[in-house]
Amino acid sequence: MTKLPAPLRYVLRTALWTLLLLGGSLALHLFTYSTFVVNNDLDHQREFNDGYKVFSLTLPNELTFCGEQVPLDRLDVRER
């Protein structure tokens, strides 16, 4: 086997790295920006909205935690 001259080895090595980087970036681009189907199912959205309900729980007048009275008159404690 013959040894290639240094300038030719440098050009071939640079070309190989360039091809590898371009190929890798192309593969990354294909996998990252692949197409996806947007599902705009209006019937499902309407059915979900019809069955969706928001309600509040009834709180007791007095509440204790670890033997201490919980201050339900404080709004931040009451909401938690």
For residue 46, is it within any domain?
no
pLDDT mean over 17-23: 97
Q: Find the mean pLDDT for residues 3-21.
A: 93
pLDDT for the residue numbered 31: 84
Would you say residue 70 lies in a domain?
A: yes
Number of domains in the chain: 1
Q: Is 7 exposed, middle or buried (0-12, 13-18, 19+ CB in 10 A)?
A: exposed
pTM over cut 0.85: no
Question: Is pLDDT of 3 > 90?
Answer: no
**Residue, of 70 and 2, whose pLDDT is higher:** 70
Domain containing 69: what range? Answer: 6-34+51-79
Q: What is the mean pLDDT of residues 43-65?
A: 86
Mean pLDDT, residues 30-43 taken together: 75
